[in-house]
Amino acid sequence: MYSLGFGPQHALGFARTDLDLSADLCPQPSPLVPEKNEELWSTLGSRYSTKDFLGEAVELLGGAVRVPTESYDQMLPVGQDPRWEVFAPFHEHLLKTFPNVHSTLELTKVNTYGLVYVWKGSDSSLKPILLTAHQDVVPVNPESVDEWIHPPYSGYYDGERVWGRGSSDDKSGLIGLMTTVETLIKSGFKPTRGITLAFGFDEEASGLHGAFSIGQYLLKTYGENAFALLVDEGGDYNIEYGQAYATVGTAEKGYSDVRVEVASPGGHSSVPPLHTSIGILASLLVHLEQNPYVAELKRGTPMYQKTHCLAAYAPDLPEKTRKAIQKSVKSDKALRIAEKDLFEDRKFKALVGTTQAIDLTGGGVKTNALPESAWAVVNHRIATDSSVGAIRERDTKILEGLAHNFNLSYTSFGKQISAAGAPAYGSLTLSDAWGASLEPAPITPSSGDNAGPFELIAGTIKTVYRAHRHVTGDETVIVSPGIMSGNTDTRHYWALTEHIFRYSHSWSGDRSWLSRGVHTINEAIYGDQFVEMIRFFTTLILNADESTSI
């Protein structure tokens, strides 16, 4: 593997000054090109640039979209819930579509529908790499089908985009990996470093049956920290403040769904109390929304590291903000100034802090009967510097006064907080809605002596960016640590490696990952984006195969 030798680049004419200390805090490795397999990489790169390959790729992705694989919340175990059976036809489709993968790699099915493919390397002393994706997709609301430009399971290619549920999330990742490996096998490549592919089947429902079982299987089979690195779906790259940035998810927020339930006496609605359980619940929820979590930019977090990359390389970042970021290393005042400026971007602020969203409500059974109970579920995405315990403590405290005002006995996460005055009007209970709360993920090293895997990913991203766009000048993409806005199957793989990256090499332009129809109508992906993902997986595998830094 060799470096193209560009070193840290300053694209779009932005030049570093001697006062720009942030550049030292956002080091950029040179683009990495395979050395041992340079000829293969070059040959495949030329093929990926052809219309013929584009046609093959979009048909492979479209074919996968045409096999519906919906997963749902609160499904019964495999074997008890017939809805899991949709994955059997998808397995048959993969077997037929990728014959060389199935004849060359060892396939183990975990919990019936989880797929683990192992491509053994010739040097068993090298830790293998783990590349993951998920088979399932978010269900399509039947009432929204008529709103789709093309039917949600058509896999239709209109000459620019492949349309359909899963085209972006995440069959593009799964089919991209399978296409890459199939192509490498047909090209005669034999890995030195082993490659494992792992595909869960209920990522959209927290991976409790798929990735959880796969994680346990891999841990039992290979042991802790058995893999050199792991790459799963996640960040992409786009233009920020006049510079192309690729944000690699080196951390992931925690997750907790808090159920808020109010119980009160029933009766006939013709003689109503001042407040029904639904009315009380409404007051509690309004109070929560009027008191959002306070986001705070903190040193040492991935999003703080991202600010240094903005200050070092973004030409359109306001100079006041740039200087505040540079001084924030030692100045708390400067940190707060930078925070205030950057939080004008609502998405950036949401990625930094803990968020809350009231997503589910229920209560009452009949219009002339007082509701004996009412409930809501509040979704929390927990900041990387917080914890499940911290959000439980905060939610408990913020509702305590209202519990007293409405004369409710108050129990929070199994602990009685307060008793109501006699006679009690009712009760307020906070609990974990599904029992699936998740602490924030461990942070993957992106600097220092243990950052070899991050540098490998970053160098690969830079190479693919330049190769796919046929860049010959100084233009480059800046690679930055960051976080994934949602949660992925990696939550079940923490013990397998300390180098976990959530990154889908896809150009999003001025559209975020969550605005491309993901989880809603008209999900689609540009054919060129999908080919670039294949180019990324190919380059990553070849670079990792000869790396001495992972």
Q: What DSSP state is assigned to residue 329?
A: T
Task: Count Cα neighbours of 73 within 13 Å in the Cβ-side half-sphere.
Answer: 6
Asked whether the bond before 158 is cis by omega within 30 degrees of 0, the reply is no
Question: How far apart are the C-alpha atoms of 185 and 165, rounded to whole Å?
Answer: 29
294, 276 Cβ separation under 8 angstroms: no
* Other CB atoms within 10 A of residue 427 CB: 18
Q: How deeply is 54 buried, as exposed, middle or buried, from its count of CB atoms within 10 A (0-12, 13-18, 19+)?
A: middle
Nearest to 532 by CA among 31, 41, 45: 45
The answer to the question of whether 499 is labelled as a binding residue is no
Alpha carbon separation from 250 to 154, 227, 293, 493 (Å, rounded):
34, 16, 23, 14
| Residues in CB range of 499: below 8 A, 6 or more apart | 228, 229, 230, 444, 445, 453, 454, 550
136 is catalytic: yes
- Can you tell me the distance from the alpha carbon of 152 to that of 238, in angstroms, rounded to the nearest whole number? 26
Which of 136, 257, 339, 523 is catalytic? The answer is 136
Please check if 519 is assigned to a binding site. yes
The one catalytic residue in 170, 182, 202, 203 is: 203
- Which amino acid is it at 488? T
Q: Which string of DSSP letters, residue by residue, matches 501-537? A: EEEEEEEEETS-GGGSSTTSTT-EEEHHHHHHHHHHH
Q: How many CB atoms lie within 10 A of CB 359?
A: 11
The angle at the Cα of 77, spanning 75 to 83, to the nearest 5 degrees, equals: 55
| Structure token pair of residue 418 | 């307060």
- Find out whether 232 is annotated in a ligand binding site: yes
Best CA proximity match to 249, nearest among 105, 397, 84, 457: 457
- Residue 134 annotated as binding? yes
Q: What is the DSSP letter of 301?
A: S
Amino acid at 412: S
Query: In sequence order, which residues have a C-beta less than 8 Å from that of residue 145 and are 6 or more positions away?
Result: 151, 152
Establish whether 203 is a catalytic residue. Answer: yes
Q: Nearest CA to 166 among 149, 152, 148, 180?
A: 152
Task: Say which residues have a Cβ less than 8 Å from residue 55's Cβ, sequence separation at least 6.
Answer: none
Binding-site members for Zn(2+) are: 134, 169, 204, 232, 519
Binding-site members are: 134, 169, 204, 232, 519
**Active site members:** 136, 203
